[in-house]
Amino acid sequence: MLAEIFGPDLLIVLIVVVVVLFGGAAIPKLARNLGSAQNEFKKGMAESKDEAAKATNQAADEKPPTG
């Protein structure tokens, strides 16, 4: 169903609208900014996973042994 909504016709229309709104010269800047935002997001997700793993390890180390 999603493939029907986001078909090749819609993609062409979106590209034309972006070119008209931003102009041909601004598109490389827009793509560069989107790429850097994606990299920052991935780096933030990796840091979050590292911090969660450290917190889990610390919590496991602080628990007294049972027995």
Mean pLDDT of all residues in 26-45? 92
Tokens of 20: 């008209």
CA dist., res. 66 & res. 63, Å (int): 9
**Interatomic CA distance for residues 25 and 48, integer angstroms:** 36
Residue 67 has pLDDT above 60, yes or no: no
Q: For the whole prediction, is pTM greater than 0.85?
A: no
Provide the terminal-to-terminal Cα distance of the chain, rounded to the nearest Å. Answer: 56
The two three-digit tokens of residue 56, written as one number = 């889990």
CB neighbour list of residue 22: distance below 8 Å, 6 or more residues apart:
30
Q: pLDDT confidence of 11, banded at 50, 70, 90?
A: confident
**Residue 41 to residue 54: CA distance in whole angstroms:** 20
